[in-house]
Structures are given as structure tokens and as C-alpha cells.
Amino acid sequence: MNQIYKIVATLLLLIILSACARRAVQISGDQVNIQNEKPFQRFYLFGNVGVNDPDSPAAFDAMLQHINENSKKDDYLLLLGDNVLANSIRKDDEDNKDANQFKKQLEQIAKIDINTLVLPGDHDWNDEGMDGLKKIEEFTEEYLDNDEAFQPENACPLEELNISDQVEMLIVDSQWYIEDWDKNPNFNDECEINTREKFIKVLADELRKARHKTIILAMHHPLYTNGVHGGQLGMRMVTTPKQENAYIPGLGFAYSFVRSQAGLFPQDRYNPLMNDLMREIETAGSGIDRLLVVSSHEESLQYIDRDNIKQVVSGATVSQNIVSLGKKGKFAAGKIGFSEVRVFEDQSSQVLFYLVDEQGNLEQVYSNKLFDEKKPYDIDGITVTNKDAIAASIYSKEETEMSAKDEEFYGKHYRELYGIDVKAPVVMLDTLYGGLRVERAGGGNQTQGLRLIGKGDREYNMRALEKDALQFLKSAGFNELDAERYFGETLPQELIRDFYTSAHPYGAFAVPRLAGAIKLNHTHPKLFWIPKQPVLGDFNDIHGDRLYMIVEKPDDSFDSPHMFGYNKDVESTDDLFAKIREDEKYTVDEEMYIRARVFDMLLGDWDRHEDQWRWAEIKDSEDSEKSRFVAVPRDRDQVFARFDGKLLEFLNSTIGVTKQFGNYGPDIEHINEFSQSAKYLDHAVLQRTTREDWLTAVNYIQKNIDENVVKMAFNEMPKEVKDDLWQQTQEDLLARKSNLENIVNRYYDNFILFQTLKGTDKDDIFFIERLDKETTVKAYRNKDGEAADVLFERSFKDNKTEEIWIYGLDDDDEFTISGSGNSKIQIVIVGGKGDDKYTIENGKNVKIYDFESEKNEVEKRNGASVVLRDDYDINHYNHRKAPTSKLGFGAQVTYNPDDGVRPQISISKSVLGYERNPYSLKYGIEADYRSLTQAAIFQGHLAKANILGHWNLRADALITTNNYTQNFFGYGNNTTFDGDTDFDDNRVLMQRQEASLSIYKHGDYGSDFQFGIQYRGIEVEPDITRSALIDNQRDDYLDYTFKYLFDSYDNERFKTRGMHLENVLSFTDNLANGENFLSIDPSLTFWNALDDERKLIVQSRVAGQLRIGDEPVFYQAARLGADRGLRSYRQDRFTGNYAANASLDLKYDARPIKTKLLPLYWMPFIGVDAGRVWITGESSDRIHYSYGGGAHLSLTGLGRIEATYFHGPEGGRLGVGLFLGF
């Protein structure tokens, strides 16, 4: 047996060493060189130029000489990060070696007539963070004599560059995402993107908009890498002291191996926060045909081909390190060199790699095709119609037909209208509105559209009336699947397509006259049949020969009073937020915004998130320094929505989120849910208004929209849809108009429960006065120490308002809380950046947040809670943050031979207040029943966030019925088992009561820490005779515990690389007899892919249990069994002082099975277990083992089924389970 172990160990070592990364040139597959005579643009890629001692000083000169001799003026040179350390750029240290090296490099580059872009890396952020990065930006742009050379600017995360008609470049500061945002109060101060969630959304939007081009996504950290940061090992990690092996040759290799699996460093590719970023980028890029990611970070050269996403790593400009071909690698070299990307006019592209030796001799060693040429649409084959108009429908008539029974269940909607042929004008875009041309694709997940540019640079949006259900499904979490293959003709596609028919297909054409009647800014959508035509170019692939809506894009090129006013500019919502906080001279026309919001309710338009608005800047006629922003509603494609049918009625009674989808009629039954998408904007924009302002808007609309206006508006719809439903919708609109006051009052009752109030980025003064059952809040600009211009003056009643969040924003603000009243309204004050002053005479129900590092002054507290902490999340304004709560529900039913059928159910609620981590308060209960013993377990938990800094507090309780059982077969590794005996013979009846209190912290980079104390009371049956160690029928214990957990993996659904490390240390004190012992329970799990497709993986796990001190009772001892590492055995089959076990599973991620509902993922596996226990005085060399397999089946978002069967010396064991969670 020992000989076999030695052979296996030798083979494993050889496999590891053969897969080790190295510096040599490595190539996989054939090199395909593009033979293309068309013009092309070069992109030279340098990385990590800021190494202290370059491996080959002459190499850099040789590279620049090559570029100088071969480049053109429109080519690009990218420095991909790690350029220089910020602390080396100091005016008092002009002889600094690092700074002078970078200065020399920049001066050399500046002499070349080429476009140079410099990106930040992790070294550029360094220990000086954002301030140091800005210093590097200034230094770089000074020596390149170009104010746009350093990108992204101002320590922001994203910049978009339109390189040419063929190429779009997105520059990402990947270090921004993983940086500790708490370090600097000014973090994101100059950035429009100020949350990670918004960054991902904007990046995905930019990728979609440019999807017709070749997109180069440039960032320091690679999306894919087979270098050190990607988990590759090299022999030097065994033989040479390096950071990668903790500077310990030999033994340090174990550390290197663990790091390679887990991404222990924040800079490693598979560290959790880094992996979050890369997974999001991968998801956003999955639908892009030509996406090239260029990076450095690794001191190597790599080309990795992941189908539509290609990765070029070019980080060996002045230094080198080991690298492997790894998974999907085509080229790898750990040698000094650089890469070049060529993009041709036909969008074919190739990558070339050059190596440079110590003497400066440069050699091209590899080239390969990146993307094939983009096949141009055969414009010559287009038959241009000469018809003036064409009758067409959105869906075919067959697609809209439904039986009466199905229609009753799914609803009638406006389904019939989508199958009716309507007559629409045929237009050629190059003659419409003076001539239009295509700028780019639209950015929506559902709509298929194009951005058009016309005369005078006026912009228009062209949108197909048919929405794309498959694209929506792909964007909803199924990006890795072929949408056509797995969702074509399935229930989700049919449901979503049918869902779209709930909106009136031609309702948007009625809106302009209605909006005009109440003097609201509006666009003028027009219906056209747009045939395939030359001006569409390659967009003819997916566009043309359909019904389209063309509508103006709100901007300053349209400045007529009936559209967007005589505006100076038209801003996005993000730009509006930046303006109104900048200075009090910028204000929102709240009257017109409220009118627009009441108009939303009249129209039944439930989709009114912030991107559905633009803001026309209108100069004050009396003071040209002042401007007001007037709302411009857009995208009215959800008006008059009819969500009917028994299915929706059922969902509304069980799932609250569907209540926003109403059936258009005289009332809005669920007005709060209907307004869900607009509530954040309402709170952000409305600072001065009251209920009377909303009712004024109601009165104005009721007065100015009459039956005649409605009739004229609806006559703008195609005549073919003017049927009974057309007439009924008009009657419903007029009835809803009459009921508007009731609707608006109900909405305002909910709206006023919570309010946000804001100052400006200048010095402001806030006065909060506590009265009896009332609170007033007044804010003014602080000019020369006095309250000056009024920002707002508000009064709130206790019976109407529950909570107010007040943001001082930037600069030095003063807050005074006075009054002796008993108002119970919860007040949250967020001082923001600057040196703020707080005078609190009545601090009851007041909580204050501000930066610890700022010079804030709190004169009095008087009962107020004051939290001074450098914490980005609590000290920055986020308009999408509001009090809310979430319910969680989980249910599962499992079967195993020990418990029988075991149903479990859990219910929890998360309360999200101002301070979250990730919740403010969370509580829940769980019930667990076991059919064979008829025992039940009841558990409850309560957790409160940030009780001590970023540490949460958690309380848990557990109680069982008195027929709860635990198996016990005696102590030792050689205990006997008789398969013919009754299971009850090994069951010990007991009852458990437990209560615990702990604090825990979840780190950003994968680590969790927990400290706690636990009380346990355990009462066993009085006649137990199996162990002399039980002296008392009942024992009470105190446990003092510490738990550490590290989790890191690439993919939650199917892990192909990762590590789970857990260690629980517990000191147990028996309160009855004073005995105590120490428990140490470590476990370690690895996941590793075995094939290039990452479909076959091996999961390996080792675990141990140690009990040190007085002998523990059986239920506290080290145990092995079915749920503790030996899957074919009874639960708790072996008991001892120490235990060790290991398992090895081979899992396969099989191709999903298309079902009518959702794709069915199934993962078969086989596995083997081994383990044993030890007790003092026993001599045993027996290793217990199991072998078997099973399968996991899952429907994403619904649940999963698991089935396993394992066999061993004591027989087989079957386990099945159904798991649901919402």
C-alpha cells in the first residue's frame, strides 16, 4: 500500500511540475496571418514600465525606435498601468530614480508622432491612493504635453473614446473597483460614476452602443490570465525566495499553491472582489461580437482566445516573469517584449508579439488573427420599394391568436392590436428630416434601435415596435447561453413577448397632444415603415422591413418652446444632480416635474426611472446667472398598459413586485408599487413641495385635458386600431382624470413617509426644530456666517412622516437642532465632506454621520447618536438609497435513511435603513422536521449591522423537541455495525437548548471573521449506557468561539477554480463539573478545471477535528459519518478525540437541457471519501471509505434537485433533496 501511495504522489508531483509556468515562448495551435491590403490602424501595447531596475535597459529604446519607424499619426501607444509610484514624484526629491526613469520614458515617447494614452495600475494608486494618482496624471500630461493623455481622468473609472468608424475604445481603471474607498473622503468627488453598480451599468450600456464595432477594452488587470496573478506556478517558487512563496524556498511552495487556487492577494485574478469585477465585465461583454481586452499587470506576454472575447496581456515591457499557456492560451512568453494590435478597415484584426534581447535586438515571434473581417451587408442586393405606404403588423396574426381559455388566464392585453396590419408611410432615411445617417446602435436590453443624426447635428432615436424577448432573457442572467437555442419557442420567450403586448403599441403617438395641452415638454414620435436600404449599411442585418418609431433625442439642437423650451442645454439626470448640488443658482422646476409625474399616473406609465428623463436648462430672464431645469419626459412606450388575466391576479396576491403592473382603468389600485421605478427620482428632485403642489397639478390637468383633447390625441393612432378598445381607453382616461385627486393623495401619503433633503457643495446652514408632534427643517446658504439664500423650508407632521435624511454634501456646513418638542420623526444627518459643525439641543431620534478624518465639531449631543467614521457608503449621497425591507423564503425537502423525509422551511426579513452591512437589521426563523423520529428543531436569529465599526452583531437561538436524536455507536475507529439491527438502537434521545451572541465581519477580499459566546443546555435520556463519560443527565456549557472563513471561486453555479478555507476554534467549559476542552475544526476545499472548456473539474476536500483537554461527551467529540465526510455511512458513525477525512469528486457541467420552462442545468459527479478517528489507547490502522456519485439538477432562479448514492463496507446510502429559495 505504501508503495502505491509513493507512485501516486510521484505522478502527481510530475503532473504539477509539467504544468508549471515558465519564461520560455509557448505556442498552441497554428498561427493565422491575415493577408489584407486594406488600411489598418496600429495599437502598440506597453505595460508595467515603472519597474525600478529594468531587466534590459536597451530594450525600451529598441521598442520605441521600432514604433517610430513603423507607426502612423493615427496609431496609438497604450501604457497599460504600473507606470510609476506616486511617492517617488516629489518636488523635494528631483533625483528620485523611479521618477526620473518615468520622466525619461515619457520624453522619449513625446518625440514620436503618435497618440499616447497612459492608464493607471495598482502601483500608480500605491499608498497615496487617489491623491497620488492625480499627481501622476499631472506629471504624465506635463511631460507628454497633452492634457488628455492620462485616462480615465480624475481617478474616475471609465472613459469612452470613439477611435474611428471601425474601433471604439473603452478605458477602465480596474484598480478603482477594488480600491478601499474609505481611505479618502474625496473619493469619486469628480466622478459621475460613484458606485460600483452604476459603473457596471454604464459599462454595459457603452458596450451595447458600440457593438457594431471592434471594441478595445483597455484596463490594467486582465480579464483572463495564465500568469502569476492568474494562479500559475513556477519552479522558481520552489527554489528562489520571492514574494509569491512568502520568501521561503521549498516550504513556501505550499503557500504559493494555496495562493494559486484562491487568489489570496487583492491583486490576484480570483480574489473575490477582483473576480466580481471580471465576472461583471465578462457578462457585459458576452453579447459583443468583437471584444478585445488589452491589459498588463502580469510581467509577461499572452494571447488568450475565448471566442468572442480575446485577451492580450502585454506587461513585459521592462520586466519579465513566469507564464503558462493554461486554458485557452494561444501564446505565452515570460520575456521582455511588447505587442501590437492591428485593426483593418474591414474590421479584421490581428495581434503581433515582439521580443527584445539585452542588446536591443527586436524580433517578431508570433502573430495571429484576432477577428475575421466583418462581412458587409450586400447593399447592392437590396430591392428598394417605390411604395409610399405599406400595411404591416408588429407580430404576425398567428402569433397573437390565443384561445378564450388561455386569454382568460394570461389576459387579453392589447394582443390583438399587435397582429393588426396598419398602414404606415415608407421612408428612406437619407431623405427624411433633411437626411439622416446612422451614428450607432441603441443601448437597450429590449428595444432594437439605432441612433440617427440629421441636419444641424440633430439626433433621433429609431426604435422597432417589436421588442426583443430573447435579448432581454440573455441580459437577465443567461448571458453564457445561446438565447435562440435555449429560449426560442419556450414559455419564457412566449410570456415575455406576451408581456410586451400589455402596453398599447401605438399609445405613444397619442401623448404629444395630451402633453401639449398641459404645456409639458415632449417629443413627437412618428410611425414609419422603414425598408432595408443603403443608408442602414451593415445594420440591415437586423434592421429594416419593419414598423419603427422615430423620435427626437432631447438635446439643445431642439429649442422650440413646444418641445424643450428655449433651452441653453438639455442634461441627463446625472448631470442634473451634479448641477443642482454645485450651486443654489441651479434649481429644478418642481412645479413642472410634479405635473409630469401626475401625467405619468394619468397615462398609466409605470416605467419612469431616471434614464427616462432629460432636463432642459432654461436661463432666468431676470438673472442670467440663474437657471432652472425643466423636466423632459421621454420613452412613452408603456402608456395605457393593460396587465390583466388570472395569472397576474395570482402573482399580485403572492408577489408584491408585480403589483406595479396594473390594468388601465379609472383607478390605480396599487399606487405605491406602480410608482416604484420613479420613487428615487421623486425623493431626489422634490425638496420644496407640499401636498398642495401635487393637488394643484391635478387641478391643472383636469382643467386642460378634456374630452375633445383626448379625442384629438387618440386620433393620432393608426385608423386600423380605432376599435372598441380604442374608445374604451379614452373613456378610462377621462374616468382616471376625474379620480386623479384620490390617486395622487394616496401616492403622496406614501411619498411623505420618508423624505430626503439636500444642501449644496457650498457652505450651508440647516435649522432643525423639534416641536410637539412636528419637525421643521430649514436650509440656507451660508454667506459670511449668516443664513442667506433659502434652499428650502419644510414642516413635517409625526402622523404623516416617519423618517427624514438630511445631506449637507460638500464644504463646511452648520447643523442646529433645537426645540423641546416630542416629535418622534427619525432624523438622519449626513454631514459629507468638509468641516461641519453640529449644535444639538434635542438629540432624541437623531443620528449623525460624518468623516472622522475631517475637522468636524460636535458642541452638544444631548441624546443624539454620532458616528464619526471614514466610511464611503455612509458619508456619500446616493439618490437610490431609501428605507425598504425584503422578505426571504426558503423551503427544502430531503430524504436520508437516518432522518427519513426531512422538510425544512425558513422565513426572514431584512430591513434596509440608512446604515447597512449589507442590511441594517435582519431576523428570521426556521423549522426542521424529521419523519423517522418525529423530532423537530426550531431556530431563530437576529442581526444588527455595524454595531462596532464594520462588525455586525448576531444573536441565535435553537430549541429541539425532547425526542430529538443523535446517533452514537461508541468511541473509537473500530466500533462495530450490524446492518440487521434497528436504527433506533444507535439513536440517543436528547433535547437541546442553545443561545449565542457573536460579532462578525465580512471583508471585501474574501475573509470572514467571527467571535462569539454560546450557551448550550443538553439533556439526554436517563438510561443511556453506551458511555461512561456521561455523568449527568443534563449538562450546561459555555463555548467561546472564533471562526475564520475564506471563500474565493470563479463561478458560483459551477466552480472551476477556487478555495474554501474554514477554521473554527472553540473553548468549551462544562458549567456542571468544571471540565473543559479546546476544539479545532479546520477544513480546506479546492476546485480545479481539468479541461480547456472548464466543464470537467475536480473538487478536493480535507478536514480535521481535534479535541484537546478533558474528554468530551460523544455529542461534542470529533465525529465522522454521512454528513461529516463519509457519505455511505450512518450519521455520526465514528466518534473519537481526533478525526480526519478527505474526499475527491469529479464533476461535469453537462450541456444544459432545453425545456419549455427554463434551461435545465445538470451536473453529474462521482466521488470517493476516506477518513478515520482516533482515541487514546486504541491501536488501529483502518481507513474507512466510500465511493459513489450523483447529479445536481437546477432551474436558475427556481430551485434545484440533488440525488446521491454512495457505497461502502457497511452498505449503500441514498440521499435526495429538493431546494427552493426566493
DSSP string, 823-873: ---EEEEE--SS--EEEES--TTEEEEE-SSS--EE---TT-EEEE---HH
Least confidently predicted of 26-35, 240-249, 843-852, 885-894 = 240-249
Mean pLDDT of 1049-1070: 93
Q: Taken in order 840, 845, 851, 853, is the CA torsion positive or negative?
A: positive
1 in a structural domain: no
94-108 pLDDT, tens digit each:
778 888 889 999 999
Given 875, 899, 916, which residue is the final one in a domain?
A: 875
Biggest CA pair distance of the chain: 100
58/165 same-domain check: yes
871-882 pLDDT, tens digit each:
999 999 999 999
Q: Is pLDDT of 35 > 90? A: no
Return the CATH number at 342.
Answer: 3.60.21.10
Least confidently predicted of 263-267, 602-606, 835-839, 1213-1217 = 263-267
281/300 same-domain check: yes
1211 in a structural domain: yes
597/696 same-domain check: yes
pTM over 0.85: yes
283 in a structural domain: yes
Q: Is pLDDT of 47 > 70? A: yes
431-460 pLDDT, tens digit each:
999 999 999 888 666 678 999 999 888 999
1169-1201 pLDDT, tens digit each:
999 999 998 999 999 999 999 999 988 767 899
656/767 same-domain check: no
Find the domain containing 771 and state its range: 752-875
237 in a structural domain: no
Q: Is pLDDT of 8 > 50? A: no
Given 698, 715, 749, which residue is the final one in a domain?
A: 749
335/401 same-domain check: no
**Residues above pLDDT 90, as percent of the chain:** 74
Least confidently predicted of 377-391, 691-705, 1008-1022, 1120-1134 = 377-391
The pLDDT score that the predictor gives to residue 287 is 82
Residue 1145 grid cell: 469528486
895/866 same-domain check: no
Q: Tell me the one-letter amino acid at 959.
A: I
The pLDDT score that the predictor gives to residue 155 is 95
- What whole-number distance in Å separates Cα of residue 132 and Cα of residue 146? 19
105/91 same-domain check: yes
Q: Is pLDDT of 559 > 70? A: no
The pLDDT score that the predictor gives to residue 7 is 44
pLDDT-based confidence at residue 240 (cuts at 50, 70, 90): low
256 in a structural domain: no
pLDDT-based confidence at residue 1129 (cuts at 50, 70, 90): very high
pLDDT-based confidence at residue 4 (cuts at 50, 70, 90): very low
Sheet containing 309-314, strands listed edge to edge, beginning at the edge strand earlier in sequence:
26-27, 329-333, 301-306, 309-314, 291-295, 214-219, 167-172, 158-162
pLDDT-based confidence at residue 259 (cuts at 50, 70, 90): confident
684/791 same-domain check: no
Q: Tell me the one-letter amino acid at 461.
A: N
The pLDDT score that the predictor gives to residue 563 is 58
Q: Please count the structural domains in the chain.
A: 4
| Cα of 336 vs its chain's centroid, Å | 37
255 in a structural domain: no
240 in a structural domain: no
pLDDT-based confidence at residue 55 (cuts at 50, 70, 90): low
The alpha carbons of the chain give a radius of gyration, in whole angstroms, of: 34
Higher pLDDT, 13 or 334: 334
**Residues above pLDDT 70, as percent of the chain:** 92
The pLDDT score that the predictor gives to residue 658 is 83
Mean pLDDT of 130-140: 93
Higher pLDDT, 67 or 625: 67
The pLDDT score that the predictor gives to residue 15 is 45
261 in a structural domain: no
Given 749, 770, 802, which residue is the final one in a domain?
A: 749
865/895 same-domain check: no
520/578 same-domain check: yes
650/663 same-domain check: yes
Return the CATH number at 898.
Answer: 2.40.160.50
Q: Is pLDDT of 707 > 60? A: yes
pLDDT-based confidence at residue 11 (cuts at 50, 70, 90): very low
Q: Taken in order 564, 566, 572, 574, is the CA torsion positive or negative?
A: negative
337/352 same-domain check: yes
Q: Is pLDDT of 258 > 80? A: no
The SS3 call for residue 874 is helix
The pLDDT score that the predictor gives to residue 469 is 72
506-553 pLDDT, tens digit each:
999 999 999 999 999 999 999 999 999 999 999 999 899 999 999 998
The pLDDT score that the predictor gives to residue 33 is 82
DSSP state of 326: T
Cα 1222 to Cα 91, 888, 892, 907: the distances in Å are 58, 6, 12, 10
Q: Is pLDDT of 825 > 80? A: yes
How high does pLDDT run on average in the chain? 90
The pLDDT score that the predictor gives to residue 1004 is 85
Q: Is pLDDT of 153 > 90? A: yes
940-999 pLDDT, tens digit each:
999 999 999 999 999 999 999 999 999 999 999 999 988 888 888 889 999 999 999 999
Long-range Cβ contacts of 28-33 (<8 Å, 24+ apart): 28/325, 28/329, 28/330, 28/331, 29/330, 31/366, 31/367, 31/368, 32/368, 32/369, 33/350, 33/367, 33/368, 33/369
Q: Is pLDDT of 349 > 60? A: yes
Which runs of consecutive H residues, i.e. helices, occur in 1055-1155? none
Q: Tell me the one-letter amino acid at 1096.
A: L
